[in-house]
Structure 1
């Protein structure tokens, strides 16, 4: 079976390290599906759902990412994410509350640094909400 090594790392922690047979990454130019032996590329990642198909697992591993950088080599894929959260650690009410709080912080920001932090928090909340929407859509199929 064709597999590649995948590393998903955020500022806080290593989110996923292991093998995958297929990965879907939300990039600025749309979703990018990557199989092993893909041509080398680098791309910016937009907020959304990172989906990993892992050999031996019946369900995809889902990770909400708020943005970052993707690097692909023929046998390795690395995502350096600003913020990343695995789907099993997400909660809809918490994500909606985080989005509201981030929007409030954006409107009240007094300087560039606090505005940037608020935008980063908003991107992280939106990524979690998109991931939870994806999970809900998959369950309703």
Structure 2
């Protein structure tokens, strides 16, 4: 199976680096799926989006991301997020409470992004 190097990096930490068979991300132009051999591109990630990485080991990694960029070259996919959180790190009850009790749209959207990532992980 074809593979490509990939990284998911947030301002506060490196989340993952390895070989992937595909990466899916939500950009300002819509959802994009990137496979090995994809044309080079630079995309802006949406606020409160989800990134899905399928590794060469068969794992599906899902993260909630807050803005940033997706860079695709012939040899590598790099996701540079303003912030990111693995779906398995999300406390669902806490995120639901924060969504319900949010005092700003930004707080509500952040909680919704985390819940979407959890749902995406459960679907994979």
Gaps (5+ residues) in structure 1? 107-117
In terms of fraction of residues, the more strand-rich structure is: 2
Q: Residue 134 of structure 1 corresponds to which residue in structure 2?
A: 120
RMSD: 1.9
Aligned length: 123
- Mapped to 2, the partners of 1:63 and 1:22 lie a distance apart of 14
CA contact (8 A) 1:84 1:124 kept: no
Partner of 1:74, secondary structure, is coil
CA contact (8 A) 2:5 2:17 kept: yes
Change (3 A) 1:75 1:130: same
Pairwise CA distance, 1:56: 1.9
Change (3 A) 1:74 1:60: same
Pairwise CA distance, 1:71: 0.7
CA contact (8 A) 2:64 2:113 kept: yes
Q: TM-score with structure 1 length normalisation? A: 0.77
In terms of fraction of residues, the more helix-rich structure is: 1
Q: Residue 16 of structure 1 corresponds to which residue in structure 2?
A: 16
